[in-house]
Amino acid sequence: KAGVTQTPRYLIKTRGQQVTLSCSPISGHRSVSWYQQTPGQGLQFLFEYFSETQRNKGNFPGRFSGRQFSNSRSEMNVSTLELGDSALYLCASSSQVTATEAFFGQGTRLTVV
């Protein structure tokens, strides 16, 4: 059974640009959550989608958005990139309404220059 796949693994963008990250959950999983990991702030919850609906959103500006497709794949978009958006972005998938076990991808390392 394939794990959670995040693409791309590495990304370098310039301030002001926008970026789209992709996450393919484990087959059959309907929940996808996104997290931002930085040395200073640790792991912070961005948002979660379940069956194409956003169920919860963390405390991030509106520049951060996401969506989920009917096949449960999810994308995260960040517009007008800032230097502070440099981080490891992790996604997690779960088959449950409440994640009794969340499976993580290897993350996308975004560097904003």
Tokens coding 89: 């972005």
* Of residues 54-73, those binding other proteins (CB under 8 A): 55-56, 58
- Per CB under 8 A, the segment of 18-26, 59-67, 68-76, 84-92 that binds other proteins is 84-92
Is position 50 an interface residue for other proteins (rule: CB under 8 A)?
A: yes
Please pick, from the candidates 20, 73, 86, 103, the single residue that binds other proteins as defined by CB under 8 A: 103
Tell me the residue ranges of DSSP E strands in 1-113.
Answer: 5-7, 10-13, 19-24, 31-38, 42-50, 53-57, 64-68, 74-78, 87-94, 103-104, 108-112
Q: What are the φ/ψ torsions at residue 84 (nearest 5 degrees)? A: -70, -10
Query: Quick check: 33 binds other proteins (CB under 8 A)?
Result: yes
Binding-site ranges for other proteins (CB under 8 A): 31, 33, 35, 42-43, 45, 48, 50, 55-56, 58, 88, 90, 92, 94, 96-107, 109
